[in-house]
Amino acid sequence: MHRLTASIFLLLSLSLLGACAMHREPVWNQAGPDRPTRITDALFSSARECFATAAGGPAVDNCIALHEKVLKDNPGHYQARVNAASLYILKGTGYTDSSSGKSDAFHKAMTYAELAMYTNPAFKAQVDAGKQPWEAADSLGAAEVEAMYFWVTALQYEFKEGMSLPSKVVNIDWLQHALVFLDRIEVVAPDYGGGGVEFAKVICYVALPESRGGSDAKGDEYMQKSIAKGGNWLLPRWARGKYYQPMKGDSQAAEADLAWVAAQNPSGFSDPLPWRVHFQEDSRRLLR
């Protein structure tokens, strides 16, 4: 009887772990061609202006709607796809409370990022032939760097804010997939991101076990690289204060970074305005 109970418990545990596994259906069949119509430019002009000026949750929702209007008119519009990915990440982390709502936003962001990658014919051909996106990353170039970066960012936010602990354990290999894209970005666009790519690597190196490529030493090294590249970007100092310094147990240094971010004039920085607003709002919230 005891062995039967143990066997049932094991089967239930394996079933639950299987339910936690992250599955993404291929989205290549949603990837319409880039065929602008007579109204595409006007629609994207409104969406782009919104992206440059949006501040706060309602404005982010409005921007998402405007970008999705562009994509309804021209499903293959690369910049509308990557902007929508960025905005869904921001909606999930900054303006959504429930973990299920966050996961929904982050998965939509990953979908838009993948669709943006599919504008590269060589990448699309490999994925159509059965490869996973990260297995085809070597075909992506500087033109797709935003798509790669937002795919990784959405995945990392899903790990942090959407997944339960069992899900994080089961899906840890996804962070190895993220490193594939980050390595590719460093090859094709080494100056991209104002320290964001480097901090994304920090997350991977710190979260992954050594057996899967994790390294605290590399995490420390890339944190320094992120700060060094982030001269006129808020993201590296905000990220160091919110995530890295608390992980190191240095609450005083964390508060100093967050106070610095909160005190800056946002007009002097290169992060997209919706993200600048979020970084400063979030820093002030954490300092309360």
The stretch 236-264 carries a mean pLDDT of: 97
Contact 35, 74 (CB under 8 A): yes
Of 17-31, 65-79, 112-126, minimum mean pLDDT range: 17-31
User: Which tens digits make up the pLDDT trace of 55-92?
Assistant: 999 999 999 999 999 999 999 999 999 999 999 999 99
What gap in Å lies between CA 181 and CA 116, rounded to an integer? 14
Residue 169's region, left for phi above 0, alpha for psi from -120 to 50, else beta, is alpha
pLDDT bin (cut points 50, 70, 90) of residue 217 is very high
Rounded to whole angstroms, what are the CA distances from 102 to 52, 155, 274?
Answer: 23, 11, 17
Q: What is the pTM of this model?
A: 0.91
pLDDT score at 33: 77
Contact 32, 76 (CB under 8 A): yes
pLDDT score at 15: 40
- DSSP characters for 10-41? HHHHHHHHHHHS------GGG-------TTHH
Radius of gyration of the chain (CA): 20
pLDDT score at 32: 72
